[in-house]
């Protein structure tokens, strides 16, 4: 990319137990994305030209879902179905996006178990994406440790792999044969990644404070780590 890209997200996330086994989930994400004025001239092998800088604020894709617990106890098995609504914004001049311009249907399975003071959890699913976006396989793996069920240290590995059947071309033009959207690489089609990181959770009565740092690699993804901070309330 010829310009530095900033991607800042703030979101409200809800888990609500409708019954002992059925949970509703919802996510309301807001994004601020921008490109800097400075243009890099160190590598022009991919982009011979650049596009104007800019900034964009708005909703990313809102998510609503249901998760049903099939097996309950030391070993846990659940099935979920999420829907992501196309509520994101796109600026064609700067190619900035707050989310993918598509609707997503996401069925998945979640398996977990606890061993002494450790726990493991594996989620795996299939993301059906509309509007010519390619479908995706996704997974999430967590290994956590807690000695008092209040303080948690968690290692996390997650990834997505594009099926590659969608024909969305990331806005190819004569001047940008690789696709204008790759100037920012914010939610392009056929993006793939493997991410890894560490999370920390501290419970103080009904308040949960969590922090995380992630890095990774892939195709058409950011080459910088992400830093995350959150506060949750349990009732």
CA distances for 82 relative to 26, 34, 79, 127, 231, angstroms: 9, 28, 10, 9, 23
pLDDT given at position 46: 63
Strands (E), 18-169: 22-35, 54-59, 62-71, 75-85, 90-91, 96-97, 104-115, 118-129, 136-145, 151-162
pLDDT given at position 1: 74
- pLDDT, one tens digit per residue, over 43-55 is 666 666 788 899 9
- pLDDT, one tens digit per residue, over 184-197 is 999 999 999 999 99
pLDDT given at position 42: 63
Q: What percent of the chain is modeled with pLDDT above 70?
A: 97
Instruction: Check residue 133 and report its DSSP letter.
Output: P
Q: Where are the domains of the chain?
A: 5-233
Asked whether 119 and 144 are in contact (CB, 8 A), the reply is: yes
The closest alpha carbon to 85, from 163, 28, 25, belongs to 28
The closest alpha carbon to 87, from 61, 65, 63, belongs to 61
Residue 181 backbone phi and psi in degrees, to 5 = -65, -20
Whether this prediction's pTM lies above 0.75 is answered by: yes
Quote the tokens at residue 156: 């996390």
Give the span between the Cα atoms of 128 and 112, in whole angstroms.
24
Q: Which fold has domain 5-233?
A: Porin (2.40.160)
CA distances for 99 relative to 12, 58, 137, 147, 226, angstroms: 16, 9, 18, 38, 17
Give the span between the Cα atoms of 169 and 205, in whole angstroms.
50
The closest alpha carbon to 62, from 16, 23, 31, belongs to 31
List of residues 6+ apart from 162 with CB closer than 8 A: 134, 135, 136, 189, 190, 191, 192, 219
Residue 181, classed as helix, strand or coil, is helix
pLDDT given at position 39: 82
User: Given the structure tokens 């070993």, which residue do they identify?
Assistant: 75
pLDDT given at position 73: 87
Asked whether 85 and 59 are in contact (CB, 8 A), the reply is: no
Burial class (CB in 10 A: 0-12, 13-18, 19+), 194: middle
Q: For the chain, which ranges sit under pLDDT 70? A: 42-48
């Amino acid at each position: 990319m010829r310009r530095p890209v900033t991607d800042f997200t703030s979101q409200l996330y809800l888990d609500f137990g409708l019954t002992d086994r059925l949970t509703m989930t919802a996510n309301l994400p807001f994004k601020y994305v921008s490109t800097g004025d400075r243009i890099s001239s160190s590598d022009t092998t991919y982009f011979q030209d650049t596009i104007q800088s800019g900034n964009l604020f708005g909703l990313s894709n809102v998510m609503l879902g249901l998760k049903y617990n099939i097996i309950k106890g030391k070993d846990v098995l659940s099935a979920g179905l999420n829907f992501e609504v196309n509520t994101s914004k796109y600026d064609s001049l700067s190619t900035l996006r707050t989310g993918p311009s598509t609707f997503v249907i996401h069925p998945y399975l979640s398996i977990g178990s606890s061993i002494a003071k450790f726990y493991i959890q594996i989620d795996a699913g299939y993301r059906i994406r509309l509007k010519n976006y390619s479908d995706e396989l996704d997974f999430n793996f967590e290994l956590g440790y807690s000695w008092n069920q209040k303080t948690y240290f968690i290692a996390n590995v997650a990834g997505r792999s594009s099926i590659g059947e969608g024909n969305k071309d990331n806005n190819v033009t004569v001047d940008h044969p690789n696709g204008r959207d790759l100037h920012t690489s914010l939610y392009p089609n056929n993006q793939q990644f493997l991410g890894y990181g560490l999370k920390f959770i501290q419970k103080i009565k009904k308040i949960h404070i969590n922090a995380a740092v992630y890095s990774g690699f892939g195709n058409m993804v950011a080459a910088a780590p992400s830093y995350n901070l959150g506060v949750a309330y349990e009732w």
